[in-house]
Each structure stands twice: as structure tokens, then as C-alpha cells.
Amino acid sequence: MIDRNDKLWWQRAVFYQVYPRSFADSDGDGVGDLRGIETRLDYLVELGIDAMWISPFFKSPMKDFGYDISDYRAVDPLFGTLDDFTSLLEAAHERGLRVVVDLVVNHSSDEHPWFIEARSSKSARTHDWYIWKPMSGKKPPNNWVSLFEQRSAWYPNEATGEWYLATFTRNQPEFNWRNPELRAAIYDEARFWLDLGADGYRMDVATAYIKDDEFRSNPRSLTMNPDLFQHHIYDRNRPEVHEIFREFRALADSYGDRVLIGETHGRDAQLAASCHGNDKDELHMAFNFDFLFRPWSARSFRESADRWYSLLPEGAWPNFTLSNHDQKRHYARYRSGAWTEPRARVAAAMLLCLRGTPFLYYGEELGMDCRELPRSKLRDPLGIATWPLRYGRDPERTPMQWDASENAGFSSAEPWLPVNPDYRERNVASQQSDPESLLRWYTKLLALRRTESALQTGALSWLDAPSDVMAWSRTAGTTRIDVYLNCSPRKPEVAVAPGRVLLGSDAGAGDGIVAGQRRLRPYEVLIMQRQ
Ligand code: GLC
Ligand code: MG
């Protein structure tokens, strides 16, 4: 059971992102669903996570696979029914697992009744809930771009002689958050899932809610992906968004123990940090995506974590992510021949031992890989529009690999995306029975984190170490835990303070007392409790 009086559970929790299309299919249509997730809850409990975030399962024409919602209060039949959701929620809560759902309110689907009404006439009740500009000739009002269609973000609406704005696909028209009625309507939709008992929201592209009031063109930049050669200072990332975050926070706080985690769009850690608010009156957490864009290097990882800690306003709580449904999985990003697997172990220890809430992405505990798909198998609109540049997101969304049976135990039918070819060797069943597997390594790390509160909420201080090694201490009360990560295939020497080995990736590390100069093995992880 979960404790509704526990307001800070999300600081101790480990989150696990479920992409529902790809996790488990209960009804044999090749697409994962809510019942499928429910049948796998015990797996998540055994793994040792505390909360899951489920990507959208709401009614949707699926032009962006659920990130285009046509009814915020309904479950799409593809994923099941509202009863399936309440049953999943209840089953999760019984097991002590929290459930966070996705809130996609920068835009709706163009099939949402609000937009259908809005586009019918300028005098429609919901017209001003979306963003319009008068159409005179063929030239769009400014240079804003549609990310997933690689063209202007302005689309003509004949009925009113206006352009509407859509910076993802054309089927995702953007809301006018400056309209108070729209705001109130969104807050009502947001209450719906919290009233049902959901533990909070992951907020999709939250820093894009508000656009420049003068609709100025963005200045040019030199970066193609994902910026399409623009600095996005006018179509998103406006300062007025903080006021909305404060309103959302008040709404969430009125429920006591619910959490808001914002996707604050992109790679700007400073912007993300600012979304916590100085009085902790904005988002509980804003995603820190910096690791997604870092090369494999102890120095770079430490610099990234350090920078994030120093950017956060006083009292704000950090978080870390290595993989999600929009980026190449880190197993593949950090591929390095025979060292790929050892690197995945080091990465897991980093994510789970740093100070901050970790977000795992389904299948990373198995070392699920990303591979290129032939053009005919692509489903992601971004992948299709940018082929053959491979900016698509299908490779990180392939079905969860449960066992060696056909379709990896994900579905009895052909899955919506092909299963990775390595599934016969790499799957939950085979890794559960192998004590040396990556899955068992994650399970051990998660179990250790759960028993050691120093690893959850303890203070962090960096330890001096050679450049290939990332080393730090976590302290809570009289407990002090030292973590040494050798991020290289070399054997650097570290000065280890006397202590007991809590967990090591090297079988030779044993459980004994270790102290003094020690030569780490390639990619060795050593977690020690000080004496
Ligand atoms: C976010 C989601 C992404 C989606 C986009 C539009 O970036 O993570 O998957 O396509 O928003 O909603
Ligand atoms: Mg299904």
C-alpha cells in the first residue's frame, strides 16, 4: 500500500518509464495495453522500482502515438478501458507502486472536439483556445517550424481564413495558454486523473505552453537536430510559463502527495533548473536530460552532475535520466565492442547512486539495444519525415523482451514494431536465471539503494580520483557510502578509505574489508561502506 501522507516519496523513489505500446500486449493485437502492464506488475516489484510513469494511453488518432490526444478523460480502446486503468492503479498501489501519467497539454489532437469546434468559425466558443493568425497570401506569419514535418509550423484553415500553429505534426494544434477559459478547462482535465488516484503527472513539452506575445521569428542557429537551425526563444521557453507552473503546483499540492515532473524541452539544464521555482512553488522536478547528450567519459559525467547540482535553486531536488522514448538508448549510445555490457553496468551504478531521483526506461535493465529499421518498418512521424537521416524514435520503442518465445513473449501477434533480433538470448527469463546478468545487477543495485537511505537522500561529495574514475561519497547520519566507477578499460589506481564492500561488479572484490591503494579492474564498480 502507498502512504498518502508521504509527501516526499518521489525524492526517494526510482521511476520506471513504461511506453505502453511496447511493454506487454494482453489481447493479441500486437500493441501493448493496460492489462498487459498489470500482468507484469510483479516483475516491476521484484526489480525493485517504486513508481512508474506510463506514456500516454488516452484517446488518440495516434498520429504521434498518443501524444496527440482527442479526449483527455478517456482510455483509447487500443489500450483498454477506464476500468482497466483503475484496476491497474489499484493493483499497483496494493504493491506499493506509484503511477504517474502523462499530461500532454501544449497541444491537442486536431480531432479533439475543442479543435473541431474552434476551426469551424471565428466566433466558436473554443476558437481562442488555439493559436490563430490571419491568412493573407501564402506567406506564413513567422519562421517557426514544425519539428516532425520539417516545414513551417503554420497550417491553413480555410473555414476561418487563418493559420493555426503546430510545431510537432500538423495534427497537434497548439493551445493558447493566454486564454483564461482554456487554462481552466485544462486544469479540470488534469484533476480527472488525480481524482482517480494517479500519483502525478509527467508534463509533456511543458516549457512550450506559452509563445511570444508578438510572435517574433526565431533567430538562426547552427544546429540541425533537433532545432532545425533556430534558437527557440520565441516559440517556446518564454518566462510567462512560470506563472502556469505555479498554478499547476497549487493544483497538485491541493491533493497532498502528488508529483509534477516537467519535460522542459531539450538540452538546456539552466532552463530546466529554473522550472523548480525559487520557493519550490513550481514543478517538483524538471527533467535533467544532460546525460542523454554526453559522451562516455568520467569527467564529462561528473561535470554534468556537478553543473546540475549547482544550477538547482536552494531546496530543489535533482533527477537523472539516461534513456527515454525520444532518444537512442544509452546501451547503444555507449556501445564499445566487448565493453558495451560493462559500460551498461557502470551507467546503472551511476544513475542509481548519484544524488537525485533516477528515471529508468523500460528494458534498459536488460541492455535492450537500438538498431536501424528498414524504411518500410518505420512508424514514427519524425523518422518518416527525416529518413534517411535517422532522427526517428522507433529503434528505442521496440517491444519489451520477456522471453525466448515467438515475439519475445510480448504478444501472440506480430508486434507493431519488430522485436530486436537478439531477443532469444537477451530477455527477462534468461537474465533472471543468470546471476551475472545485467538484470540481476540492476536488481542488486536497486535493493541496495532501498536499504541504504544514504543512497536515496544522503548528501553527496566528490572524491579525488584519477581522470578515468568517477568517485563520490553519500552520507546520511553516521553512514557514509563511497562509490568508485572506473569508466575505462584501463586499471587506474585509487586510494580507498577503509570500509566494507557493499556491492562490486568484480567477483574478486568479495565482501571483505578493503583499504589503501587499489588498482581497479576495467570498468569496475565498487560500492563501499566506510568503517
Ligand atoms: C514530447 C514527447 C514526444 C512527443 C512530443 C510531442 O517531446 O516526449 O514523444 O512526440 O513531446 O508531444
Ligand atoms: Mg493489445
Q: Which amino acid is at 347?
A: A
CATH 2.60.40.1180 is right for the domain spanning 458-530: yes
Per-residue cell: 470: 568517477
Instruction: Give me the pLDDT at residue 509, please.
Output: 59
CATH topology of domain 113-165: Oligo-1,6-glucosidase; domain 2 (3.90.400)
For atom 7 of ligand 1, which residue has the closest CA? 205
Q: Which three cell numbers stand for residue 193?
A: 486523473
User: From ligand 2's centre to the CA of 361, what distance in Å?
Assistant: 20
484 CB near ligand 1 (under 6 Å): no
Q: Which atom of ligand 1 is nearest to the CA of 64?
A: 10
Q: Which ligand is nearest to the CA of 412?
A: 2
* Strand pairing report for 469-476 and 58-59: unpaired
What DSSP string describes 375-393? GGG---HHHHHHTTS---S
Output the CA 388–ligand 1 centroid distance in Å: 21
How open is the CA angle 417-204-229, to the nearest 5 degrees? 85
Q: Nine-digit cell at 157? A: 484553415
Give the pLDDT of residue 520.
95
Return the residue whose CA atom lies nearest to atom 12 of ligand 1.
Answer: 67
The grid coordinates of residue 305 equal 552532475
| Ligand 1 atom 9, closest CA | 326
Quote the CA–CA distance of 425 and 439 in Å, as a whole number.
Answer: 13
Hey, is 79 helix, strand or coil? coil
Ligand 1 centroid vs 67 CA: distance in angstroms? 6
> How many whole angstroms separate alpha carbon 382 and alpha carbon 168?
9
Residue among 65, 204, 265 to mutate when testing ligand 1 (max atoms within 8 A of CB): 204
Ligand that comes closest to the CA of residue 80: 2
| 127 backbone dihedrals φ, ψ, rounded to 5° | -55, -50
Check 263, 364, 396, 482 and give the catalytic one: 263
Answer yes or no: is the C-beta of 64 below 6 A from any ligand 1 atom.
yes
**Whose C-alpha lies nearest to ligand 1, atom 2?**
204
Distance 27 CA to ligand 2 centre (A): 5
How far is ligand 2, taken at its centre, from the CA of residue 113, in Å?
26
Q: How many residues in total does the chain contain?
A: 531
Q: Is the CB of 67 under 6 A from ligand 1?
A: yes
Reported pTM: 0.98
Cβ–ligand 1 contact at 394 (below 6 Å) = no
Distance CA 279, CA 286 (A): 15
- Amino acid identity, residue 99? V
The pair phi, psi for residue 410, each rounded to 5°, is -80, -40
Look at the block and give the residue holding cell 510513469.
53
Which ligand has an atom closest to residue 410 CA?
Answer: 2
Place of cell 497541444: 107
Instruction: State whether the beta carbon of 326 lies less than 6 angstroms from ligand 1.
Output: yes
User: What are 293's three cell numbers?
Assistant: 547528450
Residue 64: how many other CB atoms lie within 10 Å: 21
How far from chain centre, in Å, is Cα 445? 20
Q: Which-ligand-closest: CA of 107?
A: 1
User: Which ligand lies nearest to the CA atom of residue 32 in the structure?
Assistant: 2
Up-side HSE of residue 523: CA atoms within 13 Å toward CB? 16
Say how many Å lie between the CA of residue 78 and the centre of ligand 2. Answer: 6
Q: What is the pLDDT of residue 514?
A: 72
Q: Is the CB of 208 under 6 A from ligand 1?
A: no
Ligand 2 centre and the CA of 84: distance in Å?
Answer: 12
Max Cα-Cα span within the chain: 77
Q: Are 306 and 294 in contact (CB under 8 A)?
A: no
CB 409 within 8 A of CB 32: no
Contact criterion met (CB below 8 Å) for 58 and 434: no
Q: Is 204 a catalytic residue?
A: yes
| Helix (H) / strand (E) containing 298 | helix 298-311
31: amino acid identity, one letter: V
Could you tell me the end-to-end alpha-carbon distance of the chain, in angstroms, rounded to an integer? 35
Contacts of 354 (CB under 8 A, 6+ apart): 305, 318, 320, 460, 472
Find out whether the peptide bond into 226 is cis, omega within 30 degrees of 0: yes
Cα(121)–Cα(164) distance, integer angstroms: 13
Q: What local confidence, expressed as pLDDT, does residue 431 receive?
A: 98
pLDDT of residue 72: 98
Q: Do residues 347 and 452 touch, judged by C-beta distance below 8 A?
A: no
| β 525-530/479-486 pair status | antiparallel
Query: Distance (Å, rounded) from C-alpha 74 to C-alpha 349?
Result: 39
Q: What is the 3-state secondary structure (H, E, C) of 169-232?
A: CCCCCEECCCCHHHHHHHHHHHHHHHHHCCCEEEECCHHHCCCCCCCCCCCECCCCCCCCCECC
Instruction: Give, in degrees to the nearest 5, the angle at Cα 17 between 11 and 21.
Output: 160
9-107+178-210+240-445 and 458-530: same fold?
A: no
Q: Can you tell me which atom of ligand 1 is nearest the CA of 148?
A: 10
Do 78 and 62 form a contact (C-beta atoms < 8 A)? Answer: yes
Residue whose Cα lies nearest atom 6 of ligand 1: it is: 67
Asked if residue 238 lies in contact with residue 211, where contact means CB atoms within 8 angstroms, the answer is: yes
50 given a catalytic annotation: no
Sign of CA dihedral 199, 289, 341, 379: positive
For the chain, the domains span 9-107+178-210+240-445, 113-165, 458-530
For the CA of 265, the closest atom of ligand 1 is 7
Strand 459-462 and strand 469-476: pairing? antiparallel
Cα R_g (the chain), whole angstroms: 23
Establish whether residue 168 lines the binding site of ligand 1, counting it when its CB lies within 6 angstroms of any ligand atom.
yes
DSSP assignment, residue 265?
-
CA separation for the pair 504, 518 (Å, rounded): 13
Neighbouring residues of 467: CB distance < 8 A, sequence distance ≥ 6: 298, 299
Phi-psi region of 280 (alpha: psi -120 to 50; beta: other; left: phi over 0): left
Pocket test for ligand 1, best of 64, 324, 380 (most atoms within 8 A of CB): 64
Beta-strand pair 98-103/71-75: unpaired
Residue 228 is predicted with a pLDDT of 87
Distance 65 CA to ligand 2 centre (A): 14
Per-residue confidence (pLDDT) for residue 226, from 0 to 100: 80
Q: Is the CB of 205 under 6 A from ligand 1?
A: yes
Q: Is the CB of 364 under 6 A from ligand 1?
A: no
Q: How far is the CA of 149 from the centre of ligand 2 (A)?
A: 28
Which atom of ligand 1 has the smallest separation from the CA of 68? 12
Q: Which of 25, 38, 162, 204 is catalytic?
A: 204
Beta-strand ranges (E) seen in 29-171 are 51-54, 58-59, 71-75, 98-103, 132-134, 145-146, 151-152, 154-157, 162-165
Q: Could you name the CATH architecture of 9-107+178-210+240-445?
A: Alpha-Beta Barrel (3.20)
- Cell numbers linked to 303: 561535470
Residue with cell 493573407: 136
400 to each of 327, 332, 417, 425, 431, how far by Cα in Å? 16, 16, 11, 13, 13
**Blockwise average pLDDT, block size 10, the chain, 531 residues:** 96 98 98 98 98 98 98 98 98 98 98 98 98 95 94 98 98 98 98 98 98 98 87 96 98 97 90 92 97 97 98 96 98 98 98 98 98 95 89 96 98 98 98 98 98 98 98 98 98 94 79 79 96 88
The ligand 1 atom at the shortest distance from the C-alpha of residue 382 is 10
Helices and strands: H and E segment counts in the chain: 15, 21
